[in-house]
Amino acid sequence: MSDNNTVRKVDSVPSGSTAKDSGAPLLQVRDLKMYFPIKEAAGLGRTKKVVQAVDGVSFELKAGASMGLVGESGCGKSTTGRMITRLLTPTAGEILFKGTNIAHLKERELRPFRRQLQIVFQDPYSSLNPRQTVSNIISTPLRVHNLVKKGKELDRVQELLERVGLNPEHHNRYPNEFSGGQRQRIGIARALAVEPEVIIADEPVSALDVSIQAQVMNLLEDLRRDLGIAFVFIAHDLGVVRHFCDQVAVMYLGKIVEQGSREQIYGAPQHPYTQALLSAAPDLGTIRGVPPKERIRLVGDVPSPIDPPSGCRFRTRCWKAEDICATQEPLLEPKAHSSAGHAAACHFAEPKVDLTAATA
Amino acid sequence: MLYFVARRMVSALSVVLVTLIATFALFFVAPTDPAGAICGERNCTQQRYNEIKANLHLDRPKVQQFAEYTAGIFTGRDFTTSGVTQHCAAPCLGFSFKNDRPVTEMLKSRLPVTVSLVAGYAVLVLTIGVFVGSMAAKRRGTLGDRGLMTSTLVVSSVPYYIVALMVALYLTILYPILPRGEWHPPSENIGKWFAGLLTPWLVLGIYSCTSYARYSRGSMVETLSEDYIRTARAKGLSDRVVTYKHALRSGLIPVITIFGLDVATSLGGAIFTEKIFGLPGLGVLVLDSLNSYDLPVIMGTVLVASVILVAMNFLVDISYSLIDPRVRLT
Amino acid sequence: MSTPAPEDRKDSMVESAAGESEATAAAKRGPSVATRERRQGSINPSGETPYLVVEDLAVQFPTADGLVSAVNGLSYSVPLGRTLAIVGESGSGKSVSSMAVMGLHDRKRTRITGSIRLGGDEIVGLPENELMKIRGDAVAMVFQDPQSSLHPLYTVGNQITEAYRVHHKVSKDVAKKRALEMLDLVGIPNPQRRFSQYPHEFSGGMRQRAMIAMGLVNDPKLVIADEPTTALDVTVQAQILDLLNNLQKEFGSAIVLITHDLGVVAEMADDVLVMYAGRCVEYGTAEDVLANPRMPYTWGLLESIPTVSAANERLRPIKGLPPSLLNLPDGCSFNPRCPYKDRVKGERCTTELPELLPVDGAGAHTARCHLHDKATIYAAEVAPRLS
């Protein structure tokens, strides 16, 4: 489907893998692919097909930075997050953490890296074991990684609970005694317990009520600022991503279609899909008298990743599509009018401003 | 669909084959001595013992014995005992050690009894059991629901054979309210067939209905809380249509799964039922032949039982796909 | 729809409760409540004659832990052709109140009091067989998750024709024609083929379109859309919201939109009602509530949403958690989380439940808050943080 050239690195990556150079990225993802095989009946035999959940994703993350992966369901953003934490083993590609490729390490070699790459899940109800106390949930990773002396575990658990804004006295309670937002804090405390350098936050606030969502967002921001933890922030909510991430990658059907800084993506998006996403996001600005200049409405749904469209995967829903889009896959590359670090995978990329009801 | 049938046939055949090998191994390879059993203990000379062994082909290598046995099922085979040759026709499962009749013939006369019994059982549990469970689910939390569920718990906590014995003793013999269990082939007199099986059906069926009522209730309670049930109500459908059309179709799926797993148990239940009500079925046959080491009969029965089991599971799979369009028969 | 005969209203708990409330209403209600109802119940913020009128609605569930008052003293109205958005967080009572309008609550486990009138006819206390005739016909509902809200084992066409034939005595062919028409109307391409497909063969957006087709098949006067786009992707959500807007123009029905997403509210609503802990805390036109809100909870909601157009400022969440409905705080339910309660003299916020009163002394924009300089506080402190 895609040859190795389809994805080019946006920033030039310093050669050599010494991560100790200042400015070198903490985490580099190169041409990451995840194909899930599926079996389907066809007549008397069976055909094997693959779901190209992620097909050639590359980006990098500097220490303390935050990278947003945005896209609709089925775009591969969560799969990417799971590969980075090696909950899934990629079909192909590299995941360089401080210069070491962890993409295909064996479980034993992986263990020290597991500690440094933590994940926070979307659903705080199903991701905590209901039969374990909070103290147990948080201290298990401490024990697994031998991070605290025996007898000091409780102190550390209470410290962590306090850090995420929970009452340290509640360490003996069970998850069902907490509300959704509090459970998400427990999930965060569990991730923090092992002092990670990178947290993959997979839709960490989308299951929460609006007022609680903001509390958790602020907590994540504090952690980033105070502890210097870098984030890969996976979300479908463009507002949340804009708020939290300095770098943003927009994904569609397993590929990054546009990548750049927050200002570039939200201020002057170049890819038609990014433009459509921004335009579709319901915005309060309209009621306050700042309607956006243009409304873009896509037709149809996202096609199946089992048999994605040829050439540009977005072409079936794109109003700019021409013949070339079906035959030639557009590369993710800087365009003539791009500012540094901004790249889009589109034959007809051009910036559009005023898609959001921005007052600033 | 065609592919599905073909694949299921293959897997069915392999299940039967494995059963065949397993029973064969169990009886012939295990340290039992059929020849000794036939020869008896008192006046069994070494010569007579060897003769019996040769007649039964027990002196041949095990693999060859197995091949001969299997081949006999398809082509028939000849047995020579003391110079007299007996032909055993195509689906040949050997001759009974005990009375020298062909096993196939014995099974043929017994099979309809057990099949009638199990079929009636299936109809009862899948209609009355499911219906009662659905009613309870619809009225969940009410006194009626609780009463029903408590009584099913009480019934299912009494061992089956005690219930069956009591019914046979009190309701058919001491106070003959129900007809006694008897076997009349349905081809002869369908009314007598029905009357003779009524009591065994009721006992076996109603006893199992209690657990099916519980399964169905659980399944229906879950289904009734589904979003699409709320949608159905929001359309303005009556409670009856919502329960027995929208909910029941989904609620049946887990019940059928359990039924598929349960067929084996019901065959086991059939043994008790046949014994207690004096029905000449496979269960009684297997009990008798176990007592007398009648190996060919035991093997034949086990084989037939495994075929029934495979066939039932096949039916269950088919009914899945009829109920749920998402189940593609692959 | 007919008004129920009085003898119909005897046999269930719901009905007796409703009957009691009517009989003893005058005695129990204080004068101020009565005036509020007169103001609230029949006059819509738009001034038009409403189709749906909800007055002093209360929904209670007796549980093992006590009586849960999921909705309390709720009054609103929606004229034909207008959209009311009911906004609130989980547990605020927004869904529960609309389920009551559909009569979908389990009668044995719910006490519903107050009044719900559709085109002037009372439906609280109607027996089940009367309610059945209204459900799906005069009032239709579009649910949140089209994946779980469509029956997985029946074809989409079957489910739509069924909805039509419950209320119309027509042949299958006529119903099919109608269903195909509806599928086409909601923008499902190739309706003939889609008609005989199952929900799992539809994409998420198409499923929600099918759901809408099913809801609108009987040309309802009132459509209740319960989080209709929450389960959908952003670009599909935009399509569905456009579709609902266009269909409303065509059918002229009243829409009650239940949502937690203020962005969706801004795109869809003519009127907005904000609920907190089972009560309405602010009610007015969309412009009133979203551009000139007068209640600290609404302020908090607006301040805590990161929007696509906002700069990267620190969010200002509402502190604490929503209260348990079993154990509501005294006074204003929002007081434990309210940053402005110190500005109210005395202990009023913690002792006295504020009434839903017009924010400018008169008019249809009402809020439930003791603060008396709400406009000043909003203009000076809240508004600057929002833009």
The pLDDT score that the predictor gives to residue B196 is 85
Indicate yes or no: CB of A215 within 8 angstroms of CB of C387: no
Amino acid at A57: V
Instruction: Give the orientation angle of helix B130-138 with respect to helix B190-224, to 10 degrees.
Output: 30
Q: Check if the beta carbon of residue B49 is closer than 8 Å to that of residue B35.
A: yes
Residue type present at position C262: L
Summarised one tens digit per residue, pLDDT across range C249-292 is 988 999 999 999 888 998 899 999 999 999 999 999 999 999 99
Q: Which residues of A touch C241 (CB under 8 A)?
A: 282
> Are A43 and B330 within 8 A, CB to CB?
no
Q: What is the pLDDT of residues A200-213, one digit of tens each?
A: 999 999 888 888 88
Helix axis angle, B295-323 to B2-24, nearest 10°: 160
d(CA C329, CA C241): 37
Average pLDDT value for residue range C75-81:
94
Domains, chain A, with CATH or none: 4-245 (3.40.50.300), 268-360 (no CATH)
C331 and C352 Cβ atoms separated by less than 8 Å: yes
CB contact under 8 A, C167 and B236: yes
For C186-209, the three-class secondary structure string (H helix, E strand, C coil) is: CCCCCHHHHHCCCHHHCCHHHHHH
In eight-state DSSP terms, residue B246 is: I
User: What percentage of chain C carries pLDDT values higher than 70?
Assistant: 87
* Closest residue by Cα to residue A67 from A114, A26, A20, A6: A26
Is residue A1 pLDDT above 50, yes or no?
Answer: no
Cβ contact B236–C143 (<8 Å): no
List CB contacts of C93: < 8 A, sequence separation 6 or more: C59, C70, C71, C72, C74, C275, C277, C278, C279
Residues of A at the B interface, defined by Cβ within 8 angstroms:
40-41, 43-46
Rounded Cα distance, C282 and C289, in Å:
7
Amino acid identity, residue B34? Answer: P
Those residues whose C-beta lies under 8 Å from the C-beta of residue C264, and which sit 6 or more positions away, are A282, C85, C229, C237, C241, C257
C30 pLDDT more than 50: no
Where along chain B do the CATH 1.10.3720.10 domains lie? 104-323
DSSP run (H or E) holding A40? strand A27-42
What is d(CA B324, CA B49) in angstroms, rounded to the nearest whole number? 60
CA–CA gap between residue C317 and residue C303 (Å, rounded): 7
Q: Two tokens at B180?
A: 């006694």
- The region of weakest confidence among A263-277, B88-102, B309-323, C316-330 is B88-102
Give the Cα separation of B279 and B103 in Å (integer): 18
The shortest CB-CB distance from C153 to any of B141, B234, B249 is to: B249
pLDDT averages per 10-residue partition of chain B, 330 residues: 76 84 74 67 75 75 80 77 71 78 86 87 88 89 86 84 82 80 83 86 85 91 92 92 92 89 78 85 85 81 85 83 74
Are the beta carbons of C297 and C243 closer than 8 angstroms?
no
How far is residue A70 CA from its own chain's centroid? 7
Q: Do A45 and B3 touch (CB under 8 A)?
A: yes
Closest CA to A346 of A334, A358, A355: A334
Q: Which residue of B has its CA nearest to A45?
A: B3
CA dist., res. B123 & res. B119, Å (int): 6
Q: In this complex, do C133 and B236 lie within 8 Å of one another by their Cβ atoms?
A: yes
Above 50 in pLDDT, residue C324?
A: yes
Task: Give residue C16's pLDDT.
Answer: 40
Q: Encode burial over B236-269: b for 16+ CB neighbours within 10 A, e otherwise.
A: bbeeebbbbebbbbbbbbbbbeebbebbeebbeb
CA-based nearest residue to B275, from B264, B288, B263: B288
Per DSSP, the three-state class of A50 is strand
Q: What chains are in contact with B, requiring at least 3 Cβ pairs below 8 Å?
A: A, C
Whether pLDDT at A75 is above 60: yes
* Closest CA in chain A for residue C229: A282
Domains within chain C, CATH numbers bracketed: 6-138+220-386 (3.40.50.300)
Q: Could you say which DSSP state residue A117 is in?
A: E
Average pLDDT, chain A: 85
Distance in Å, alpha carbon of B228 to nearest chain C alpha carbon: 4
CB C91 within 8 A of CB C322: yes
Instruction: Classify strands C279-285 and C366-368 as parallel, antiparallel or unpaired.
Output: antiparallel
Q: What pLDDT shows up at residue B306?
A: 85
With a cut of 70, say whether residue C171 has pLDDT above it.
Answer: yes
| DSSP helix, strand, coil percent of chain A (3-state; round to 5) | 30, 20, 45
Sheet arrangement for strand A343-344:
A117-120, A198-202, A230-235, A66-70, A247-252, A255-261, A343-344
In a mutational test of the C interface, the residue from A205, A206, A210 whose CB has the highest number of chain C CBs within 10 Å is A210
- Return the HEC string of chain C: CCCCCHHHCCCCHHHHHHHHHHHCHHHHCCHHHHHHHHHHHHCCCCCCCCCEEEEEEEEEEEECCEEEEEEEEEEEEECCCCEEEEECCCCCCHHHHHHHHHCCCCHHHCEEEEEEEECCEECCCCCHHHHHHHECCCEEEECCCHHHHCCCCCCHHHHHHHHHHHHCCCCHHHHHHHHHHHHHHCCCCCHHHHHCCCHHHCCHHHHHHHHHHHHHCCCCCEEEEECCCCCCCHHHHHHHHHHHHHHHHHHCCEEEEEECCHHHHHHHCCEEEEEECCEEEEEEEHHHHHHCCCCHHHHHHHHHCCCCCCCCCCCCCCCCCCCCCCCCCCCCCCHHHCCCHHHCCCCHHHHCCCCEEECCCCCCCEEECCCCCHHHHHHHHHHHHHC
Q: Among the listed ranges A16-25, A326-335, B121-130, which one has the minimum average pLDDT value?
A: A16-25
Strand A27-42 vs strand A198-202: parallel, antiparallel, or unpaired? unpaired
> Residue C243 in contact with residue C332, Cβ under 8 Å?
no
Tokens representing B319 are 């009914």
- Nearest beta carbon to residue C166 from set B141, B236, B250: B236
Please work out, in degrees rounded to the nearest 5, the angle formed at the alpha carbon of residue B155 by the alpha carbons of B149 and B158.
140
Question: What confidence score (pLDDT) does residue A5 get?
Answer: 42
In terms of pLDDT, which residue wins out, A301 or C216?
C216
How far off is chain B from A46, nearest CA to CA, in Å? 9
Enumerate the β-bridge partners of residue B224. Answer: none
Query: Alpha-carbon torsion B81, B86, B91, B95, what sign?
Result: negative
Cα separation, A245 vs A69, whole angstroms:
9
- Chain A's closest residue to B3, CA to CA, is A44
**Contact yes or no for C102 and B234 at CB 8 A:** yes
Mean pLDDT of A221-247: 92
Residue corresponding to tokens 């499923």: C207
DSSP bridge partners of A200 = A119, A232
Give the pLDDT score at C40.
Answer: 45
Q: Which of A305-319, B213-227, B312-326, C363-377 has the lowest mean pLDDT?
A: B312-326
Higher pLDDT, A350 or B57: A350
**Which pLDDT band, with edges at 50, 70 and 90, does A4 fall under?**
very low
With cut-offs at 50, 70 and 90, classify the pLDDT of residue C220: very high
Q: Of A75, A23, A17, A28, whose CA–CA distance to A51 is shortest? A: A75
Alpha helices in A164-260 (DSSP H): 180-192, 210-227, 238-244
Question: Complex ipTM, two decimals?
Answer: 0.82
pLDDT of residue B330: 54
Exposed / middle / buried, residue A44 (Cβ in 10 Å: 0-12, 13-18, 19+):
exposed
Q: Where are the beta strands (DSSP E) in A76-123?
A: 92-97, 100-101, 117-120
The alpha-carbon gap from C114 to the nearest alpha carbon of chain A, in Å, equals 29
The pLDDT of residue B80: 67
Question: Is C32's pLDDT higher than 60?
Answer: no
CB atoms < 10 A from the CB of C163, how many?
29
pTM: 0.83
Q: How confident is the model at residue C74 (pLDDT cuts 50, 70, 90)?
A: very high
What is the token pair recorded at A82? 């799971």
**Residue bearing the bigger pLDDT, C180 or C14:** C180
pLDDT at A328: 93
Closest among C188, C246, C235, C184 to A297, alpha carbons compared: C235
- By CB atoms closer than 10 A (0-12, 13-18, 19+), residue C317 is buried
Question: Lowest mean pLDDT: which of A198-202, A257-261, B167-171, C64-68?
Answer: B167-171
* Closest Cα in chain B to C216: B235
| pLDDT > 70: percent of chain A | 88
Q: Which residues lie closer than 8 Å to A115 by C-beta, 6 or more apart?
A: A141, A145, A194, A195, A196
Residue written as token pair 């929007």: C307
Which CATH code is given to the segment(s) B104-323? 1.10.3720.10
The residue of A38, A39, A44 whose CB has the most chain B CBs within 10 angstroms, and thus the best one to mutate to test that interface, is A44
Enter the tokens of residue C3: 């008004």
Residues of C in contact with A244 (CB under 8 A): 306
